[in-house]
Structure 1
Amino acid sequence: MNIINEENRLCKILRIIEQSNLTSSQSIADKLGVSTKTVKNEIKELNRLLKGYALIDIKQGKYVLYVIDQQNFDIVRQDLGIQDDFFNSQQNRMSNILYKLMNSDVPYLTDDLAEEMNIGKTTFIGDLKKLRNKMEKYSLRIVGKTNTGLFLEGNEVDIRMCLLQDMYGPIYKEFKIDEDIIESISKICRENALGSGAIDNFIKFFTVMIDRLLNNHTIKYLDDKYIELKSTKTFEFVDKLLDEVEKIIPVKVPVNERIFMVLPIISMRTPINSQGIKEIEVSDETIDLVQEIITLIKSQMNITIMPGDFFDEFVYHMFFMINRVKFGIKIKNPILEDIKEKYSVAFKMAELSKCIIEDKLKNKVSKDEVGYMAMYFGVFISDNSYKNKIYRVAIICGSGVLTARIISSQLKKILSPESEIDIYSSMEVNDELLNKYDLICSTYKLTCDINTPIIYMKEIFDEHQFRKQIEQVKYTQKLEVPLLQGIDSILLNLLDEEKFFVLDNNLSYKENINLMVDALRNNGYVDDGFKERLKKREDNSTMVFDKYIAIPHVVNYESDNIVLALGVFDDTLAIDKDRNVKLVFLLGIPEELGENEILLIKIYNEIISIAKDKNKIKEISRLKKYKDLVLYKIKEDSTF
C-alpha cells in the first residue's frame, strides 16, 4: 500500500479509491469539495490514463479499484505525479514487500521491488532478512532468491493474522471503509452489547477481509478448529450481520470468510457489561478449565478462589483468552510490569493457571495474558479479604489519664470514625474485659491471658508506623501472639527461635526438611502425620518455589493457626540444574483456614518480595539465628 501525496485532483481521487475501496461518488465529492458530476468525469479520465492496467468500476453505487497489471499500474501512478516518501521507514518497507508478495501470483523480482521503493540492494536484503524472521511466527515463508524472484508461501489465514498483528498500521493506515458500511456494522454490534474496542477490532478484520477478497485471495481451507465455529451462536450473529452489510457492498462474502469474521468477536476483551452479550455462548471447555484452575490454586497454594459477583465476568475473560491462545491472536498488556509488582501473589496464581491452559491447548500463553489473569485474581483476593473494621479499642496506660488522652487523640486520627476507644489503667484490666475488644494499645506490659491482638507503643508514637501495625492486625486477629513493636513483617511475627533452622549442606533437601519437621513436632507445633503428608506432597510435585526458595506446605491438624518455620542454607543446595535452594519456608496450614486465608496470602506476598531480590536471599541465608533475622530486619528498615 502506498502513501500518495495530494498534488492534483486525479491523484486525490485515485488515492481515495485505493485507500477507501467501496466508496461512493458523494463521499469523494464531499472530501474534495466538488460535485458528484465532477467526480464521475475525473474517474472517466483516470480510467483512460490507466490504459487497462487497472480499472475503476462502480457496483451498487460504490467505486472499486481492480488492478490487472501491478507493475505497469505503478508506472502510471508515477507518471501521474504520485511520489512516495513512505519508504524512509524500515517497517514501511517491510510492509510494502509483504503486500506486494501476498498479492502477486508469480515470483516478484527483487530488483523491481528495490527500484519501486528507490532503495539499494543492500538495504533491501537487510529488510528482507528481518521480514523473514517476522514471518516465521506465522508459519509463513518468503521463498526464492534475490536474483531470481521471491514469492510468499503460507496459509491465507496465517497471512491475515500477520497483517492484523504486525503490519496493519503501515498497510491499512489510510485504507478507509466507507462510513455507511462502518455505521451499519457498528449499529448491529452496539445493539448486541459489543463495546467500542470489539467493534474497532471487528472493523480491522473486516478491512483485511475485504482487501483480500478484492484482490482475489479468499480462504480456501480452514482447520477443524475454525469449522467448529460454524455451529456456534456467534457465527449466527456474524452471519446475519454480514447479510446486512452485503446489501451495501458490491462483494459477496463466502462462508469461510464469515467463519473468519467470528474471530474478532470470540477473542475480544471482556466488555464492561458482560451480561449484555446475548449471542456469545461460553463453551463447556471454558467452564471445566476455570474449575481446574480454582482446584489447582487450592491444591498448590491452599488459597480458595471464590469469584462471587465476578464469576461470570471471569468466565467470559477466560473464554475469550482461550480463543486468543487457540487461534494465535495476540494482545498487549501495557501495565504488565506494574501488575507483577502490585499483585505478586495473584501473578503466581496466574502462572499456575498458565500451566494448565498450555497443557490443555498445546499452545503457549503469553506473559501479557498471564498479567490479565493476575488482575482478576487480584480482584478476587481483595474482594474476599477479611472486611471487618476494628470497632472496639482499649487503651491501657500506666502513667496517668493525660497520657491516655493524648494516645486516644492520636488514634482517632488513624482509626475509622466508627471505632470506639476506651481508656483503662493497668490496674483495671483483666482477661475477660480485654478479650471483648478488637484491638489493645498498651504502654504497659500485660501479663493477662489475652486472645485480642496487642500493639505495644510509646506515649508519643509514629502515626505512619502505627498505620502499618493496624494493617497487620487486620490479617492477624486470630494469632495468639502480640505483634513485635517496630517490626512490620508478618513472617517475623510468625517466626521465633524454635522455628528458625540453619540447614546442613551435606544432607539432601528432603533430609533437611525432615529435620525441620521433627523439631517442630517435638515442640508441639505440628501433628504426628505431618511428615508423611509432606512426603507424599513432595513426591507428587516438588514445592521449590523458584530457583532459590522452597515453600513446602501441607495441612497441619495440631493448630488452628498457620505455623511457619524458616530454614537457611549458607551455601546452595542443588535440587537439579535449574534450582539451588537457599531458603526454605515450611508452612503448616490449618484444615479450615477461614480468616487465616488472608494471612496466608500476605505470607506468600512477603516471600515473593524476598524472591525478587537476590541480595536479600543471600543475606538472609547467611544468618545463624532468629535474633540475627530480627536485627537484619531492623537494619533494612523495610519489610524484608
Structure 2
Amino acid sequence: MDNRRKLSRPAQIIRYLETRLSASNEALALHFGVGPKTITNDIRDLNRLMSASGTIEMESGRYRLFISDPESFNQVRNTICERIDSFNLATNRYGYIFRRLIGQAAPTLIDDLVEEMSIGRSTVVADLSRLKKELSPYALRITGIPNVGIELVGDELQIRLFVLENMFEAVYSDYPLDDDFVEIIEDAAEEYHLDAVTTESFTRWFTVMIDRVLTDHALVGMPGKYLSLKNTSAFGLADTVINAIGRRIQISIPAEESIFLALPIVGMRTPSHELGREQFPASSENTELVQKILDEIKSEMDLHVPADALLKEFVYHITFMQNRMRYRVYVKGLSLHDIESEYPVAFRMAEVAKRVIERETELTVIEDELGFIASYFQVFLEEQHAQSEPSYRVAIVSTSGLVSARLIQTQLQKVMSGRTEYQILTLNDADAATLDRFDLVVTTAWSELVTTTSIIELSEFFDNREFLRKLNQLRYDKQVDIPIAAGAHSLLVSILDRSRFFILSPDKTYLENTLVMVDQLSEQGAIDSGFKQRLLVREAKSTMVLDEGVAFPHLANALGSKVVFAMGVVPRPPGNSGVRVIFLMGLPDKSDYDDTMLVKIYDEIIRLAGNRSEIDQISRITSYKDFFFHMARTPLPSYNPEELR
C-alpha cells in the first residue's frame, strides 16, 4: 500500500459508481465521511469535467454513471484519477501520521515522518500539535521523548471511535477487505434486512475491528454500559458475523469484539424496511417519551400533533437516537443551519423535543440529532398540509380557442396553488349556473359574464405580474381567500381583518401594547372575557417574544370557531431597541380548526422575525392597505437564524 498517495474523492466517486452501478447521495456521503451537500457539489464538478463524454444522473433517488463516448470518457477519467501528492493537504498528513502511530509497536521518530512525507520538520510538529487537540476529547494523547520517538497512548475503544468519526478514509480507504468477509457481512445484512446505508456503516466498523484484531490490538474488556448490548438483536447479528469470520480464518476473536460490532446496529437510522424494524424492536418506554414531547409542543406552540400520525416511526427513531447518544455512535446528518433556515417551524418543534429528551433521559442531544428530529417533524407537517389543503376550482373562459386557453392555464399554474383545478369553457358554456360552481373565473371575454363568482379579466397576452396585481386587488377589495403558490403571497394578509390592524405607541412596553390590542378585540366582541387574564398568566410563565423585534402572543379563545388575528406595529426610531411588530392570535377549540394554518402562520412570522430590515419597514407602515400591498409586492423573506441570536 502506498501510504503517501491516495486518489482524490471525485476520482473515488467515479470508481465507486463504476463498480457499484448506482448509489444514493446518502450512501456516498456516509462512505466518504462527508456531508450530502459535499457529494452533490462533487457530482456537479464531475459532470462539468466529463462534459459530453458522460454524465452522472439521479434516477429514483440513486446516482448512476452513463457513458456516451467511451474513448473521451477514458481520457477524462484518467485525468480525474491521476494520483496526487496527498501531503499537500493537511488532512492527509494527519491521516498518515495517525496511521503510523496506531500501526507501530515501538515509538515513531519525527525525523522518520519528515523523511517519509518529504515535508519540513516544522510542518510535522504543527500537524502533531493540531492532532493532539483533536485527540483530546477521546482521552487520547501523543507522548514522546527526544531521540526516542512519539507514540499514541489511550484506550483502544477510543482509538477506534476517533478513526471512525474523523479519519476512516485517511486510514482505511485502501484497506484490502477479503471477499469472504464481504460475503459474510452481506449474508448477515440480508438475514436481518439491513438497508444499504446501514450495511455500509457496519462494513466500516468491521474493517476497523478486523484490522485491529489482526494487528494484535483486540479489545480487552468494555465499559459496563456496553455489556447490556449482549441481550439485543444487534449483538446477535454481530456475534453471528464474528463467529463466521473466526471460523474462516481459524482464530478466536474475543467476545468484546461482538459488542463493538453491535454498536453501528443499535445506533443505525430507523430501518426503512418493516421486516428490519421487526428485527430490532423499539423500547416501549419511548412511546411515553414521544407523548411527552407532543404534549410539550402543544403547550408551548399550540400545535397539536396527533400521536397516531407520528408515533410508530418516531418511537423507533427515538430508540435508535438514544442508543447513539448513550454509546457514542455518530451519524452525519444534513446541515443544521440549512434545516433551521428552510424549516423554521419544524426546527422549533425539534428544539422543544430536545429539551424534553434531555430532561427525561439525561442524555445530550447533539446538533446532528436535532437535525434528524426536525426532519421528522417537517415530513409530518408536509403530509398534514397535503391532506388538508382543499382544492380550488378556476374556470378559464376564452374567446380565442383552446390553444390560447391552455396558454392562459400554463401561466396561471405558475402563480396559483398546486392543488388548483382548472376547466376551460367556451363563451357559450359560461352560463351563470355553470360559473357559480367555481371559486374564480379568469376570462378574456370582455363582455359581461353573469355569475356570483369573482372574476378577473385579462388580455390574451399577459404576464404574471399583471395577474398577481389583479389577484391582490381582488383579495383586498372583496377579502377573497385565494390559494396562491408558495412565496407568491402572505398568509398573514389573508387572515388579517382591516379593523384589527393597530398603530401602537413606542412609549409603551411590549406587554402594555399587547393589552391595548386585547382590549380593542374585546370591544369588538372577538375574544372571550377571560382571554386577557390567561394571556397575562402565560406571559408570566414564558414570554412569547420571538426576538427583540417581533412578538407572537397566541392562546385559546373560547368565543367563536374561527382564528382571531390582529397585528400591531410600533414605529420605533431606527436603532432603538424593543418589539416593533406584534402578531396576536386567538385560537378556537382544537376540534374546530386545522393546525396546518397555525403552522403556516408560524412559518411566515419566524421568517419575518429573521429579517430585521423587513421588520423595520413593516413597523413604519401606517395603514392596513399599505401593509396589504407591501406584502403583495414583497417576496416572503428567507429565514436567517443568525439574526435571531
- The aligned residue for residue 525 of structure 2 is 524
Matches within 5 A, 1:136-175: 136-143=136-143, 149-175=149-175
State the match for 1:587 in structure 2: 585
Q: Could you tell me which residue of structure 1 aligns to residue 457 of structure 2?
A: 458
1:186 Cα deviation from its structure 2 partner: 1.0
Call closer, same or farther: CA 1:200–1:495 in 2, change over 3 Å. same
Cα distance change, pair 264–426 in 1 and its aligned pair in 2 (3 A): closer
Cross-structure match for 1:499: 500
Q: CA deviation at 1:283?
A: 1.9
Q: Spell out the pairing of 1:53-132 with structure 2 (5 A cutoff).
A: 87-103=87-103, 108-132=108-132
- Contact 1:101–1:152 (CA under 8 A) maintained in structure 2: yes
* Aligned residues of 1:562 and 1:596 also touching (Cα < 8 A): no
Give 3-state SS (helix, strand or coil) of 2:160's partner.
helix
Contact conserved, 2:212 with 2:218, CA < 8 A, in 1? yes
Equivalent residue for 1:246?
246
Q: Output the amino acid matched with 1:493.
A: S
- Report the counterpart of residue 356 of structure 1 in structure 2: 356
Which residue of structure 2 aligns with residue 19 of structure 1?
none
Cα displacement (A) at 1:410: 8.3
Q: 2:620 — aligned with what? A: 622
Post-superposition shift, 1:568? 2.8
Q: 1:475-519, CA deviations, whole angstroms, 9 ceiling, x for partnerless residues?
A: x9xxx9523899821101222343223333433332222222122
Structure 1 residue aligned with 2:561: 560
SS of the residue corresponding to residue 333 of structure 1 reads coil
Letter in 2 for 1:458: E
> What is the one-letter code of the residue matched to 1:299?
S
The 1:85–1:636 alpha-carbon spacing in structure 2 relative to 1, beyond 3 Å, is closer
Give secondary structure in 1 for the equivalent of 2:279: coil
- Contact 2:135–2:141 under 8 Å retained in 1: yes
1:458-488: per-residue Cα shift (whole Å, max 9, x none)?
Answer: 355968579989999xxx9xxx952389982
Q: Taking structure 1 as reference, are residues 531 and 205 closer, same or farther at Cα in structure 2, changes over 3 Å only?
A: same
Q: How big is each residue's C-alpha offset from its partner over 1:71-120, in whole Å with a ceiling of 9 and x where there is no partner?
A: xxxxxxxxxxxxx9654432222123223334556654434443444432
Q: Aligned pairs, how many?
A: 539
Are positions 1:598 and 2:599 aligned together? no
- Secondary structure of the 1:587 match is strand
Describe the superposition over 1:513-549 as per-residue Cα deviations: whole angstroms up to 9, x where unpaired.
Answer: 2222122212222111112222222222222324532
**What is the DSSP-based 3-state SS (H/G/I as helix, E as strand, rest coil) of the residue aligned with 1:278?**
helix
Spell out the pairing of 1:403-418 with structure 2 (5 A cutoff).
none
Contact 1:455 1:469 in 2 (8 A): no
Q: What is the CA distance between 1:426 and its match in structure 2? A: 13
The equivalences for 1:204-223 within 5 A come to 204-223=204-223
Deviation per residue, 1:376-412 (Å, 9 max, x gap): 22221222234465376689x9xxx979x99998887
Encode CA deviations 1:172-209: one digit per residue, 9 max, x unaligned.
Answer: 11112210111011111112110121111111111111
Q: Do the aligned partners of residues 406 and 252 (structure 1) sit closer, same or farther apart at CA in structure 2, a change above 3 Å counting?
A: closer
Counterpart mapping for 1:606-617 below 5 A: 606-617=604-615
Q: TM-score scaled to structure 2, two decimals?
A: 0.71
Structure 2, gaps ≥5 residues long: 7-83, 414-418, 444-450, 639-645
1:636 aligns with: 634
Once the two structures are superposed, the pairs formed by residues 386-405 of structure 1 within 5 Å of their partners are: 386-387=387-388, 389-390=390-391
Tell me: CA distance 1:115–1:594, structure 2 relative to 1, closer, same or farther (3 Å): farther
**Aligned in 2, Cα 1:625/1:309: closer, same or farther, shift over 3 Å?**
closer
Higher alpha-carbon deviation: 383-392 or 197-206: 383-392
**What is the match of residue 344 of structure 2?**
344
- The percent identity for this pair of structures is 33
Over 3 Å counting, the alpha-carbon distance change for 1:637 and 1:371 in structure 2 is closer
Residue 491 to residue 388, structure 1, CA distance change in 2 (3 Å): closer
Separation of aligned partners in 2, 1:224 and 1:574: 57
What does residue 23 of structure 2 align with?
Answer: none
Please state if 1:257 is matched with 2:260. Answer: no
- Alpha-carbon distance in structure 2 between the residues aligned to 1:209 and 1:519: 70
Indicate conservation of the 8 Å contact 1:232/1:281, yes or no: no
Q: What is the alpha-carbon distance in structure 1 between the residues aligned to residue 619 and residue 588 of structure 2?
A: 27
Amino acid at match of 1:564: F
Contact 1:394–1:437 (CA under 8 A) maintained in structure 2: no
The SS at the match of 2:559 is coil
8 Å Cα contact 2:558/2:588 also seen in 1 = yes
* C-alpha contact (below 8 Å) 1:108/1:151 kept by paired residues: yes
Gap runs ≥5 in structure 1: 7-83, 444-449
CA–CA separation in structure 2 for the residues paired with 1:275 and 1:457: 54
